[in-house]
Amino acid sequence: MSRIPLIAGNWKMNKDHVEAAGLVTKLWWSLIDGHYEAEQSEAAVIVPFTDLHTVATIIEGDKIGIGFGAQDVSEHDSGAYTGEVSAPMLAKLKCNYVVVGHSERREYHGETDALINAKAKKVIEYGMTPIICVGEVLEIRKEGRHLSHVLTQTKGVLDGLTPEQVGALVIAYEPVWAIGTGEVATPADAQEVCGAIRGYVRDTFGPAAADSVRIQYGGSVKASNVVEIMAEPDVDGALVGGASLDPAEFAKIVLFYKG
């Protein structure tokens, strides 16, 4: 079973909608220059809410062959939830992906596995693909409890989904100690946890779901370290923060398979 790797650039709270137009266009030029083929490695940009309409318009109008999406979503469809953005609103903009449960949402907004699970279900209900984040903080890794911790998170965020739904979604393993720190997990660290997540999916949702679910690694991924991380059998892509703000660098990451 071959899974097409997904390299998603999480811009976080960077770039206004005018800057977003420039960044997406430059990224596309760099990808074209590098002979990008979406069947080899799929690129996507995960942008602030205020950039979505601009990015959607440019991608559609200029026939740019990359995916795009949002960094969070409400667990509600509509109503008195000041400041929130709903899944139907994101679907209307034709978002392909929605990141849920990023460690910065867990840490600064107290998001729990149960809330992340509810958000992922909304994303699926409205026809988009969730990128569901899991990962341990440094203390837990030091105590050697990272596998059980991440598998407990995985159980919580996938609760109640069908095997078909799990097979179609994306899980991003992002060790919190490697995010934005320049401290990248070793390929073996990434493989250990991504392999364990796939094992959990196999045991719980069956072999078809395990073979098709895409599991990304995230945390200080750059052009200089992506090739060795992607060589691991259970790593199907990367969720890239800082390096996704540089279009030439991000294009190199997307084109990792060219060596």
The Cβ of residue 125 has, within 10 Å, a number of other Cβ atoms equal to 13
247 binds ligand PGA (CB under 6 A): no
CB of 158 to ligand PGA, least distance (A): 20
Note if 136 is an active site residue.
no
The footprint of ligand PGA on this chain (CB under 6 A) covers a number of residues equal to 13
239 binds ligand PGA (CB under 6 A): yes
CB of 104 to ligand PGA, least distance (A): 7
230 binds ligand PGA (CB under 6 A): no
Cβ atoms of residues 135 and 167 within 8 Å: no
d(CA 125, CA 58): 26
Note if 102 is an active site residue.
yes
Classified as helix, coil or strand, 108 is: helix
- Helix, strand, coil % over all residues of the chain, rounded to 5: 50, 15, 35
166 binds ligand PGA (CB under 6 A): no
Residue numbers 206-225 binding ligand PGA by CB under 6 A: 218-221
d(CA 5, CA 172): 12
241 binds ligand PGA (CB under 6 A): yes
d(CA 9, CA 2): 22
Query: Hey, which residues does 129 pair with through a beta bridge?
Result: 97
Residue 219, Ramachandran bin (φ over 0: left; ψ between -120 and 50: alpha; else beta): left
CB of 131 to ligand PGA, least distance (A): 9
Applying CB under 6 A, among 179, 193, 223, 229 the residue interacting with ligand PGA is: 179
Active-site choice (42, 104, 136, 174): 174
Active-site choice (102, 104, 111, 146): 102
180 binds ligand PGA (CB under 6 A): yes
Applying CB under 6 A, among 51, 111, 113, 174 the residue interacting with ligand PGA is: 174
CB of 236 to ligand PGA, least distance (A): 15
d(CA 237, CA 4): 8
Kindly report the backbone phi and psi dihedral angles of residue 130, in degrees, each rounded to the nearest multiple of 5, phi listed first. -75, 140
Residue numbers 81-140 binding ligand PGA by CB under 6 A: none
Q: Which is nearer to ligand PGA, 134 or 210 (CB)?
A: 134
Query: Hey, which residues does 134 pair with through a beta bridge?
Result: 173
**Residues, the chain, total?**
259
70 binds ligand PGA (CB under 6 A): no
Catalytic annotation, residues: 102, 174
Binding site for ligand PGA (CB under 6 A): 10, 174, 179-180, 218-221, 239-243
